[in-house]
Structure 1
């Protein structure tokens, strides 16, 4: 963010599936400290509201996201978008990637040029299911690493997630990597195995913590099909 100073869009307020305190202000501080700009989509709703929209198959909820993201790309004459990856770990992360693909395609038609779509690892850093070298890999300098570590330490609202990821990868903070997303339908294909979000949530549904299991077949796939049909229109929202 320090180098590119992007416009940053954030879908959820970071409250998670169990309604923890929102983390938007911590995100806002980090974004501004890096010289980037919070965008027109900044914490639209809580994570649980996103899950409810998925379960309800509320296509309009997600087409609004697509519209705002498309407009942001067009209005800022964007050349690329960087999004969450598809890791089959979080249905919201996966939808973010898919809708980013569609927004880039739709905005590209309006601007009459390609908008590149990149992503980065979140949960499975360095162990992608697809064999792919990063488009760009950056090892932070000592000064950059110090600034990053200081910013993370100051964002106490994010400490649980940061510490969890650091346990998985102790070198999490010292490097960055961006990957090219596939284009077209390749970027939207169904998973070949049961997504991790289904496997992880199944015991919680069985024990009554959650009422319904979000699955690709019943929930994510149909939403993606509806979004593909919606974005194929050539009218700017």
Structure 2
């Protein structure tokens, strides 16, 4: 254990499985934005609640209280309200608990809620720093590979690996997805934490734009969430409102809306 109180902020329930042994060691406060229902309407947040509890961690004040489709609707409407509420709850909890480390999803361009979790974590750290609370900031990619070298690696022994395997096996809604990821070469025996690499997604169009366009063409979606039209201006507005809410002066943003 590092001795500092930690918080994990993820976009979707299930991402915590990638850091299962870290959960056991650090026992962080875990916050989850969505309920994991996707387009099915069937949430999986209770599986994450069970996973967090079994690992000895705790659930935070924000734990899957909104369905995926409601978050996506807010993104399309450029409605900052739910994001501001989420950011404020996370910041208040971090301040009250004396959090010294916030780990979040990394920006990956794969899903806007992954990027939003990363962006909100950065805003919270900036806000707390402006109030004199020093908070370290790290990320754990939910998909793909990180561009930077890890700043911490946890190598699981056979017993910790078996506990992680058991946690994955209990997470019924993700069994097929977990198997697909493992077939792609995921090594569950090592857990890595990375810097907040704002350039990870680069300047290219995020993958969620192409995915959304394909779903519109198939008739599954009516609209596509676009980075420049929706996500980026929304996150800029969220940041502005959060700093106003916290009574803090505007400071140069640290690639907060990449």
TM norm structure 2? 0.82
Residue number among 57, 71, 86 corresponding to 2:92 in the alignment: 71
Displacement of 1:27 in angstroms is: 0.4
**Equivalence for 1:82:** 103
Separation in 1 of the partners of 2:50 and 2:79? 32
Asked whether 1:95 is paired with 2:148, we answer no
Separation in 1 of the partners of 2:160 and 2:201? 38
Displacement of 1:90 in angstroms is: 0.4
* 1:131-210 paired onto structure 2 within 5 Å: 132-171=148-187, 173-182=188-197, 187=198, 191-210=202-221
Q: Is the CA contact 1:119–1:179 (under 8 Å) kept in the aligned structure 2?
A: yes
- CA deviations on 1:12-44 (whole Å, 9 max, x unpaired) are 11111x124211111011101110001111112
SS at match of 2:65: strand
Asked whether 1:3 is paired with 2:25, we answer yes
Asked whether 1:120 is paired with 2:140, we answer yes
Q: Is the CA contact 2:110–2:143 (under 8 Å) kept in the aligned structure 1?
A: yes
Change (3 A) 1:84 1:188: same
Displacement of 1:161 in angstroms is: 2.8
**Equivalence for 1:230:** 241
Separation in 2 of the partners of 1:15 and 1:96? 17
SS at match of 2:194: strand
Separation in 2 of the partners of 1:188 and 1:69? 24
Runs of at least 5 residues in structure 2 that lack an aligned partner in the other structure: 1-22, 249-258
- CA deviations on 1:197-223 (whole Å, 9 max, x unpaired) are 112221111221110011101100111
SS at match of 2:25: coil
Change (3 A) 1:113 1:188: farther
TM norm structure 1? 0.89
Q: Is the CA contact 1:73–1:104 (under 8 Å) kept in the aligned structure 2?
A: no
SS at match of 1:40: strand
**Equivalence for 1:52:** 73
Displacement of 1:116 in angstroms is: 1.2
SS at match of 2:98: coil
Displacement of 1:170 in angstroms is: 4.1
Separation in 2 of the partners of 1:218 and 1:226? 13
Displacement of 1:168 in angstroms is: 2.1
Q: Is the CA contact 1:98–1:188 (under 8 Å) kept in the aligned structure 2?
A: no
When the two chains are superposed, the root-mean-square deviation of aligned CA atoms in Å is 1.8
Structure 1: which 4+ aligned runs deviate by more than 4 Å? 188-191
